[in-house]
Chain A
Amino acid sequence: DAKTTQPPSMDCAEGRAANLPCNHSTISGNEYVYWYRQIHSQGPQYIIHGLKNNETNEMASLIITEDRKSSTLILPHATLRDTAVYYCIVRILFQGAQKLVFGQGTRLTINP
């Protein structure tokens, strides 16, 4: 199973872009990169996912390097409500369904 490495914590000023890095150097060709976040005492919330191309949605942008060994989640204009633990996950194939194995994530704190 490919594993991911993230910094344990990051701070960002409100209104600025938050850039969260993730290393997944052992990712295989058919594995996707997923990002979720978890606000305290809630279930994880899906943010975005991608295979090799950069992706953007209403929440964030995902930049994946050409060799796919790392990626960056970008929250373009961080707000206080973006304070959460962010998980970068590589999706694993398992009997036709895909289980997600969570690492320790990055605790992002948005400061006023």
Chain B
Amino acid sequence: GAVVSQHPSWVICKSGTSVKIECRSLDFQATTMFWYRQFPKQSLMLMATSNEGSKATYEQGVEKDKFLINHASLTLSTLTVTSAHPEDSSFYICSAVAGGSYPGELFFGEGSRLTVL
């Protein structure tokens, strides 16, 4: 099946720094990508929807200036956690749906674990 790759798979950073996480669709073009975060023993929480070439749409309560999302091409979306703090430590997961695939599968990346010291 289609593959969605996330990089890095894990990252440790100091408080106050910014971290960028990449989400790539390897063998299909993704017009839409979604970003989720997941805390231990909890479900995935949708953060934002990213459409290629346009601004991301954020879910209620998610700070758009804190979590910058860029979807510059049909195969790449990035999530930047700006001025990260320990409470931003979480498992971040992206997913992508291929253009024209409705109601096709939604493919998920393997996740990126962020630890902020």
Which residues of B91-117 have CB atoms within 8 Å of chain A's CB atoms?
91, 93, 95, 97, 102-103, 105-111, 113
- Pick from B43, B93, B105: contact of A43, CB below 8 A: B93
Secondary structure class of chain A's binding surface, majority of residues: loop
Complex: chain A residue closest to B50, CB-CB: A97
Assign chain B's interface to a size class.
20 to 34
Pair B93/A98 contact, Cβ less than 8 Å? no
Contact count A vs B, C-beta below 8 Å: 62
Pair B107/A99 contact, Cβ less than 8 Å? no
- Pick from A43, A101, A104: contact of B111, CB below 8 A: A43
Pair B43/A100 contact, Cβ less than 8 Å? no
Pair A43/B49 contact, Cβ less than 8 Å? no
Hey, which bits of chain B sit against chain A, CB under 8 A?
A: 1, 4, 6, 31-32, 34, 36, 42-46, 49, 51, 57, 91, 93, 95, 97, 102-103, 105-111, 113
